[in-house]
Amino acid sequence: MKKMLLGAVGLSAVLASCGNVTPGGEAFLRTNPGPELRTNYIDKATGRYIACDVTDYGTSARLQNIAIVEFYAAGTAAVNIELAGQRTTDKAAFQIDKLRRSSDNDYIADLPLNTLAPASVNAQTVDVKPQYQYVAITGTKRGSFTATVSLQAASGTISATSNAVDVYTSCVYLGNTDSRD
């Protein structure tokens, strides 16, 4: 019995050190590392995710970006996500209850956006799984934006903020690439 108890205590310590244990079904949001913010556009020269106000596809230009926020959470059915410009006070808030899962079993929220100015955005109500695309930057950097994921827990609101993604005035499409999810 002592060995079983010691084993259970040891297992609890190992699981707690992972940072992903949700005691008693309590809502949980991992804050370290926090959410990952990316977009459907990848700068071919650097491999970094970027946002483009206008993307030239040769025969047409598009004003749409898709912000992708990946995070680990448990015990919740919906989250709030706020995109915020780092150079401006522009913000856009979304309540998301349709989340998909990544290959790592994290949650992913896809936010189709009409344009970024930076992060002065309006979401389109479209269910979408983004096609990742390589682009070349042809314009100037206008700023950057972050995503803050929040959810309600019994103890109050839990929030975590992502990395920043740079926003450029224009890009040119170079080709599709594999899913990063």
**CATH code for the domain in which residue 82 is found:** 2.60.40.10
The token pair that represents 64 in the structure block:
């749409």
| Domain count for the chain | 1
pLDDT digits (tens, 9 = 90+) for 139-165: 999 999 999 999 988 888 999 999 999
> Is 50 exceeded by the pLDDT of residue 75?
yes
Least trusted range by pLDDT, from 66-70, 85-89, 98-102, 170-174: 85-89
pLDDT digits (tens, 9 = 90+) for 84-99: 998 877 888 888 888 8
Is 126 among the domain residues?
A: yes
Position 13 scores a pLDDT of 32
Least trusted range by pLDDT, from 18-22, 110-114, 158-162: 18-22
Task: Give CA–CA dist 74/142, Å, rounded.
Answer: 35
Task: Give CA–CA dist 38/47, Å, rounded.
Answer: 11
Bridge-partner residues for 95, per DSSP?
A: 80
Is 137 among the domain residues?
A: yes
Least trusted range by pLDDT, from 28-32, 91-95, 116-120, 140-144: 116-120
Query: By the 8 A CB rule, do 147 and 162 touch?
Result: yes
Is 87 among the domain residues?
A: yes
Mean pLDDT over residues 104-113, rounded? 88
Position 154 scores a pLDDT of 82
Report which of residues 123 and 170 the model is more confident about: 170
Task: Give CA–CA dist 157/160, Å, rounded.
Answer: 10
Q: How crowded is residue 80: how many other Cβ atoms within 10 Å of its Cβ?
A: 15
pTM over 0.75: yes
The token pair that represents 70 in the structure block:
């990946």
Is 144 among the domain residues?
A: yes
Position 128 scores a pLDDT of 59
Query: By the 8 A CB rule, do 153 and 167 touch?
Result: no
Angle (nearest 5°) at CA 116 between 115 and 117: 120
Is 91 among the domain residues?
A: yes
Is 99 among the domain residues?
A: yes
Structural domain harbouring 62: 29-176
Is 21 among the domain residues?
A: no
Position 172 scores a pLDDT of 97
Is 22 among the domain residues?
A: no
Judged by DSSP in three states, 166 sits in strand
pLDDT digits (tens, 9 = 90+) for 49-68: 999 999 999 888 887 889 99
Q: How crowded is residue 73: how many other Cβ atoms within 10 Å of its Cβ?
A: 21
Position 115 scores a pLDDT of 54
Report which of residues 19 and 100 the model is more confident about: 100
